[in-house]
Structure 1
Amino acid sequence: MSFTKAAEELHLSQGAVSRQIQVLEERMGVPLFNRRHKEIQLTRAGLIFQQAIAQSLNTIRRAVTMIEALDTSTVTIAASNAMANFWLMPAIFEFRSEHPHIDIRVLASNSPVDPWHEPIDLAIRYGDGHWPNLTKVKLFEEEIFPVCAPLYLQKHDIRTVRDLMECELIEYDSDTAVSNSWDTWLENAGVQPGAVRKNLTLSNYDLVYRAACNGKGVALAWAYGVPQEDRETLLVRPLDISLKTGLCEYIIYADNEELSMPAKILLEWLTDFGKRSIWT
């Protein structure tokens, strides 16, 4: 909102900037600024034009970032917070021990990432796989089952699914998965839940995981959602019952994208790691 400051940033005179704005307004046939004493304001047309220019510059900036990354050994991969924390990072640590020359950049966010519009090589996405213009490589099918601390299991007689109704159940309150609620899981396991006793409802899977490890109750976990080193030590499966939802975790990338060799190596490695990292 200052021609003078714009001129300073562009290393031009204030008059040159004002003249270019005037030429642009004459060409478009509408004023882009309202000129008042010692201040300027965008008109409605100016605001529309400013937003379009900002989006275009952001697109160019992302393209430059992606192009610059083509000739490097860095691979950028995006995943949800839970996936990044409980599955991807342990996988990356093991991958780096075998491929120390390949640098990995992890973007953790619960907002869906579009490989077409973000400067990433790969992304892990949860769902049914019906996404146009994306190449999809299946990691594993979603499988959900109860987990609790070994000491909690010692103190509670859990022999059947119905026994869970007498336990303190830790609820993961999230809309990112279909069958992550106890009501849904119990119903699919053949039990009408009725009045389920949920002593904790948490919006973060890390908090759910910690509460279960600390013996605060029984939680639902994904087959990939418990690190291998914690299985049977920090957490156990009280019942040999699980629910497969039909949804999957996929590695995706833009279908017109030729992956770099480091990205291809990581993709193949993660796919193999996914097969051997599931808690069965």
Structure 2
Amino acid sequence: MKNLNRVHLNALHAAEVIGRTGTLKAAAQELGVTPGAVSQHLIKLEKQLGHQLFERQAAGLRPTPFGAALLPELHEGFSQLEHALTMARGRGDGILTLSVAPNFAAKWLVPRLARFSRLHPGVSVRVEATSTLVDLDASDIDLAIRVGDGEYTDVRTEFLAPQEVFPVCAPSLAEALKVPADLKTAWILRDVNSVIPWQFWLDQFDMREEELPQGYAFTDGALCLEAAIAGQGVMLAWRFLAEDAIAAGQLVAPFEGCTATGLSYWLLSSKRRRPGLPVRAFSEWLKNEIAGSFAPPSASAG
């Protein structure tokens, strides 16, 4: 690390921020200094390195070929420093921070967390319930669970399970649902924000969603599920949302089988961080928990 003694760390940090923000003004705002101070850091750094990092343009600063090669390395280095400082403040060794969609967290993960804690009492889990994409390199998020096609860039991905959908309803409604065509006389619940519409499931039976009655509509899958549990209609659900309600006898799947959407659940983590014990322990537990509970829903009509 002798080379670090030849340059100022603040100057390297300034260059990294300029590379991300594109202007001296934006970099100064992030660093809490004046644009002139940032400019002086950059001038000194370029002199020490013997290379120009940026070309001055009217719209801002554009990396030179040398700068374009150096900046990703600086970003990775400062991300690692940030992670190290996070751990030093007591947020790393025994704490695992997980980013997961709210419905997955509430309806499947949270009811099972006690099992993980019994196996790993020294690990505390902090759940951030959000579907927003996160920067796994720069944030304190250790793991993220997302639904997608698996085409994620610059992150480590592990397959968890396919996403599959199937109708569910209260047991009292299932008596009238012998075949899919019976849905034409049922009260249909809709999650208007779902990326998987009823039509996706109906295609295999040559049915159109327009043939189904209009029931209550919700902007949240968990609310739609509660309406189904209350006997207010039939919902097109997915396994992690409805599994526990089915196991408890609150819901049934009136028709055999389920339909794969082509999407899957993925466990995401940073490629640039070495997985610590909490990450390895939770990843293994999660995959085992999913494998142990992933059985096809059986028809329960009549």
Normalising by the smaller structure, the TM-score range is 0.7 to 0.9
Deviation at 1:67, TM superposition (A): 5.4
- Pick which of 237-246 and 93-102 moved more: 93-102
1:168 aligns with 2:146: no
* Residue in structure 2 matching 1:96, options 117, 120, 132: 117
Superposed CA offset, 1:219-278 (max 9, x none): 011112124364261000111131101210011101122111121011011011111222
Residues 91 and 270 in structure 1, CA contact (< 8 A), matched pair in contact too: no
Give TM-score, length-normalised by structure 2. Answer: 0.69
Which residue does 2:292 correspond to in 1? 276
* Residue identity matched to 1:261: L
Q: Which amino acid aligns with 2:255?
A: L
Give the counterpart of 1:137 among 158, 163, 166: 158
Aligned counterpart for 1:124 among listed residues 118, 142, 145:
145
Kept in 2: contact 1:208–1:219 (CA 8 A): yes
Q: Name the counterpart of 1:198.
A: 214
Q: CA deviation at 1:77?
A: 0.8
**Does the 8 A contact of 1:65 with 1:119 survive in 2?**
yes
Task: Please identify, of 94-103 and 76-85, the stretch whose mean Cα deviation from structure 2 is larger.
Answer: 94-103
For residues 114-143 of structure 1, the C-alpha deviation after alignment (integer angstroms, 9 at most, x for no partner) is: 312321111101100011111111110001
Quick check: 2:137–2:272 contact (8 Å CA) kept in 1? no
Which sections of structure 1, spanning at least 5 residues, go unmatched? 1-44
Decide which of 153, 156, 163 is 2:174's aligned counterpart: 153
Question: Which of 98, 104, 121 lines up with 1:83 in the alignment?
Answer: 104
Partner of 2:226: 210
CA contact (8 A) 1:189 1:243 kept: no
Percent identity reads 25
Match of 2:249 among 233, 238, 241: 233
Query: Paired residue for 2:61?
Result: none
Do the aligned partners of 2:108 and 2:244 also contact (CA within 8 Å) in 1? no
Alignment coverage as a number of residue pairs: 229
Instruction: Give the C-alpha shift of residue 69 in structure 1.
Output: 5.1
Question: Could you tell me how far apart the structure 2 residues matched to 1:229 and 1:94 are?
Answer: 19
SS at match of 1:106: strand
CA distance in 1, matches of 2:117, 2:30: 41
Counterpart code for 1:131: Y
Letter aligned with residue 174 of structure 1: N
Matched residue, 2:3 = none
Opposite residue 228 of structure 2, the aligned amino acid is: A
User: What is the distance in 1 between the residues matched to 2:205 and 2:116?
Assistant: 37
CA distance in 2, matches of 1:257, 1:189: 47
Checking the alignment, whether the CA contact within 8 Å between 2:131 and 2:146 is kept in structure 1 is no
Distance 1:48 1:274, change over 3 A: same
Matching of residue 113 in structure 1 with residue 134 in structure 2: yes
CA-atom RMSD in angstroms: 2.6
Is residue 53 of structure 1 aligned with residue 31 of structure 2? yes
How do 1:7-86 residues align onto structure 2 when only pairs under 5 Å count?
Answer: 48-53=26-31, 63=83, 64-65=85-86, 68=89, 71-86=92-107
Which structure has more relative contact order (CA 8 Å, sep 6+)? It is 1
Where does the alignment leave 5 or more consecutive residues of structure 2 unmatched?
A: 1-22, 33-74, 297-302
SS at match of 2:184: helix
The CA deviation at 1:79 is 0.2
CA distance in 1, matches of 2:134, 2:205: 33
Give 2:238's aligned residue.
Answer: 222
Contact kept, 8 Å, 1:228 with 1:277, in 2: the verdict is no
Change (3 A) 1:61 1:202: farther
Shift in Å at residue 105 of structure 1?
0.8
